[in-house]
Structure formats: structure tokens, C-alpha cells
């Protein structure tokens, strides 16, 4: 018989292999034999693993000791420098241009007339904001209702008051007595309880109703969008718990929708605060109306009075923005693991980083912790590696 690998007779193949156990094809038969001896690795030989671990450990220590250089943005610095130069030029004109009339600004800033107009602005804005938010929720619920009558009426209301300018609504309500000398309620085409329109609707009531009617249309769309933004699984979970529809909306849907409603509605409140200046056209002396009257009485102080109105509007808008920030933090408690830091916390963290106690700076606690972790990795042996997060 012949060997299929070499083509030689089996006896010849064995003879060629000899006592070394290697055949003519170069195959070591002793290596495949269970009892055959194997060649051992020299004592000083390595496969390169220990050297790689030592290199990784050395690289980790070098990364900890090497400072991190930020990426340079020259164009960004050039743009910032140009903006800063323009801003400084404008600030210079504030002090060098006497037409600003800063002494007159200080005189009018806290004058009784200005404070009276400011009080009326705050009252009209606060009442309109509360009424518009409450009415917006009602109109949004009606818009989302399965009842075609309620849904159609809500859609028509939103369509009407989003189409008509606010100044037109205010002037129309101011002249409502000419259209309806008396207003009342009762049975259609039957007996009604009527009162004189002028006795019911005063100037402040007309202003608040006009602002509220216009803002309800926008607030309802904001509320509707917030409700639709809630995941449908939340509706299904509330239904699975057997909660009534009213309780589902009040306790499950609305709290989650507030995360989307609050930022947009606060923007509407800021717009409402500025829109209150239109009350001057319905004989209400708000902040803007008082400034207008004083400007006609003191024509030399027109610019200082406008600056006074600007400063007060800036202060009121800033106060609303602060309230918005903390309301957003309160409504975000269930959506994030950790609340974002407040401005004061950011300033305190910046001070700590500047003093060398911040995270990642040489000498800081994080740097010492990272160095200790690297030392433990080196001491644990060549088989250990450094965690990438510590580097």
C-alpha cells in the first residue's frame, strides 16, 4: 500500500521518517503524539504582553502629568474683539453725549407719576396673564375635545383673535357702548337682565378684557401643543390605572406638559407686558401713557423720559425671566437625573476652578484621585490596565 501524502509505500515513508519522527513532508509526528515530549520556552523569553502593559502604564502616567491645551479659535477672538470695540464706543457715548440727560433720568425714575403708571402696568399684566392662562387651558381642552361643537367653537375663537390686531380689539371694546348701549343675559328672544355697558366696563376692565381675549387664543395653542407633546404611553398608563379623565389630565398629563408650556407661555407674558403699552390708546395711563403725557408737558425731557420707560421695562422683563428660570427647574425635576446648576452655582464652580480646586486641574482633588488610581494600576501587576475614564 502507498502513502496518500507522499505517493511512496508506507514502509518507505516510515524509513524516510527515521527516528526523528519527521516525515518527508516535514510533518512532526511526535508533536501530535500525546506522550511525546515538547520543546519548552526559554526562561527569559516573553511574548510581548508584559512590555505592552508597561508601555500603557507609562503612557497613562504621562497623560496625567501632561497639561491639556485647549483648541485655539483665532476668528472667534477677532469677532469678540470687534464686538467689544463697538460696545465700548457706544458706552462712551452714554457718558459723553449730554443729550441723554442722566440727571433728568434720575429725577424721573422714581417720580410718583411714573410709579403710578408702573403700578397700573403691573396690575393689568398680572390679571391678563392669569386670565389668559386659565382661559387658554379651557380653550385647549375644548379644542382637543371629541365634541364637534366644542372643538369647532374653540377653533373659531383661536382663528378670530389670532387674526385681529390687539390695538383693534382694544379700540373696538372701548367703543362697545356705541354698538351695545346695554348688555345682558337671559333667554334668547325672551326676557333678559340688562345693565348699562358704561357702568359695567370701566377703562381698566376694557384693557384687561382686551388683552385677555387676544392672549387666550395664543395661550390655548401653547397649552394644546404641550399636551400633544406628552408621550401617548402616559395616556395609556393613566387609563390602565382606571383614573377618571379629569384626574388623568390634572395629575398626569398637565404636569408633564408644563415642561413644554412654561417657556413658551413666559415668552407670551413678556410680550403681554410690552403690549400693555397699547392701553394708552383706551385712556389708561400705564407706564408708557404716563411717559407720553409727561413728554408733552416737558418737551425738553423727552429722551430722559424714554430712557426711564426703557429701564423699567428692562427691570420687569428681567424679573419675569428669573421667575421663568426657577419655574423651569421646578417642572424639570421628573425629567432629568440632576438639575442644571443655577447661575450662582456656576459662578462658585468657576471660582473654584480658578483657585486650582476644580476638576481636572493640576493639584486638584480629581487629579490626585486619578494619579492614585494610576499608581494602583501599576502596583497591581503588568496584567492590569488603566481605566480610560481616569485618563
114-137 pLDDT per residue, tens? 999 999 999 999 999 999 999 999
109 pLDDT higher than 50: yes
CB crowding 267-296: b at 16 or more within 10 Å, else e: ebbbebbebbbbbbebebbbbbbbbbebbe
Structure letter (DSSP) for residue 195 = E
Enter the C-alpha cell of residue 115. Answer: 410709579
Supply the pLDDT for residue 23: 47
The distance between the two most distant Cα atoms of the chain, rounded to a whole number of Å, is 132
**Span 5-33, pLDDT tens digits:** 444 444 444 444 444 444 444 444 444 44
Q: What are phi and psi of 357, to 5 degrees?
A: -100, 5
Q: Quick check: 216 pLDDT over 80?
A: yes
Cα separations in angstroms, 272 against 137, 187, 221, 267, 331 = 17, 36, 16, 9, 23
Rg of the Cα atoms in the chain: 40
Q: pLDDT > 90: what percent of the chain?
A: 38
Does the structure show a pLDDT above 50 at 383?
no
Q: Cell match 403690549: residue? A: 275
**DSSP 8-state assignment for residue 6:** T
Phi, psi (rounded to 5 degrees) for 47? -95, 5
CB 212 within 8 Å of CB 220: no
Backbone angles phi, psi at 283, to 5 degrees: 65, 30
Task: Enter the DSSP assignment of 250.
Answer: I
The 10s digit of each residue's pLDDT in 155-185 is: 999 999 999 999 999 999 988 888 888 887 7
Q: Please, are residues 200 and 180 in contact by the beta-carbon 8 Å criterion?
A: no
Q: What is the dihedral of CA 286, 290, 293, 294, to 10 degrees?
A: -170
> Where does residue 95 rank: exposed (0-12), middle (13-18), buried (19+ CB within 10 A)?
exposed
When pLDDT is cut at 50, 70 and 90, the band that residue 110 belongs to is: very high
pLDDT in tens, 322-355: 888 888 888 777 666 677 777 778 888 888 887 7
CB atoms closer than 10 angstroms to residue 171: 16
Amino acid at each position: 500500500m502507498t502513502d496518500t501524502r507522499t505517493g511512496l509505500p508506507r514502509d518507505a515513508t516510515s524509513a524516510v521518517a527515521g527516528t526523528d519522527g519527521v516525515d518527508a513532508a516535514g510533518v512532526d509526528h511526535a508533536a501530535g503524539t500525546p506522550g511525546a515530549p515538547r520543546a519548552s520556552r526559554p526562561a527569559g523569553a516573553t511574548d510581548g504582553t508584559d512590555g505592552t502593559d508597561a508601555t500603557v502604564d507609562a503612557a497613562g502616567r504621562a497623560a496625567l502629568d501632561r497639561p491639556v491645551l485647549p483648541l485655539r479659535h483665532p476668528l472667534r477672538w477677532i469677532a469678540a474683539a470687534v464686538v467689544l470695540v463697538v460696545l465700548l464706543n457706544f458706552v462712551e457715548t452714554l457718558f459723553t453725549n449730554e443729550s441723554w440727560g442722566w440727571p433728568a433720568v434720575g429725577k424721573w425714575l422714581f417720580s410718583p407719576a411714573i410709579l403710578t403708571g408702573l403700578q397700573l402696568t403691573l396690575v393689568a399684566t398680572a390679571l391678563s396673564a392669569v386670565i389668559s392662562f386659565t382661559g387658554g387651558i379651557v380653550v385647549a381642552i375644548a379644542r382637543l375635545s371629541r365634541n364637534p361643537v366644542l372643538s369647532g367653537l374653540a377653533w373659531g375663537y383661536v382663528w378670530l383673535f389670532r387674526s385681529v390686531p390687539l390695538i383693534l380689539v382694544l379700540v373696538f371694546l372701548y367703543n362697545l357702548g356705541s354698538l351695545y348701549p346695554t348688555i345682558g343675559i337671559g333667554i334668547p328672544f325672551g326676557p333678559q337682565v340688562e345693565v348699562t355697558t358704561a357702568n359695567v366696563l370701566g377703562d381698566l376692565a376694557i384693557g384687561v378684557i382686551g388683552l385677555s381675549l387676544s392672549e387666550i387664543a395664543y395661550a390655548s395653542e401653547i397649552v394644546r401643543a404641550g399636551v400633544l407633546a406628552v408621550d401617548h404611553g402616559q395616556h395609556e398608563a393613566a387609563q390602565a390605572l382606571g383614573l377618571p379623565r379629569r384626574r388623568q389630565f390634572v395629575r398626569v398629563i398637565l404636569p408633564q406638559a408644563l415642561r413644554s408650556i412654561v417657556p413658551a407661555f413666559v415668552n407670551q407674558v413678556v410680550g403681554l407686558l410690552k403690549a400693555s403699552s397699547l392701553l394708552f390708546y383706551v385712556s389708561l395711563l400705564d407706564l408708557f401713557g404716563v411717559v407720553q403725557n409727561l413728554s408733552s408737558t416737558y418737551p425738553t425731557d423727552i429722551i430722559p423720559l424714554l430712557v426711564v420707560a426703557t429701564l423699567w421695562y428692562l427691570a420687569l422683563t428681567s424679573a419675569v425671566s428669573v421667575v421663568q428660570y426657577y419655574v423651569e427647574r421646578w417642572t424639570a425635576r421628573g425629567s432629568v437625573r440632576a438639575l442644571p446648576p443655577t447661575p450662582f452655582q456656576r459662578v462658585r464652580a468657576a471660582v473654584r476652578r480658578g483657585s486650582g480646586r476644580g476638576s481636572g486641574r493640576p493639584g486638584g482633588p480629581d487629579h490626585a484621585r486619578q494619579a492614585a488610581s494610576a499608581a494602583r494600576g501599576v502596583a497591581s501587576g503588568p496584567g492590569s490596565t488603566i481605566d480610560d475614564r481616569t485618563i
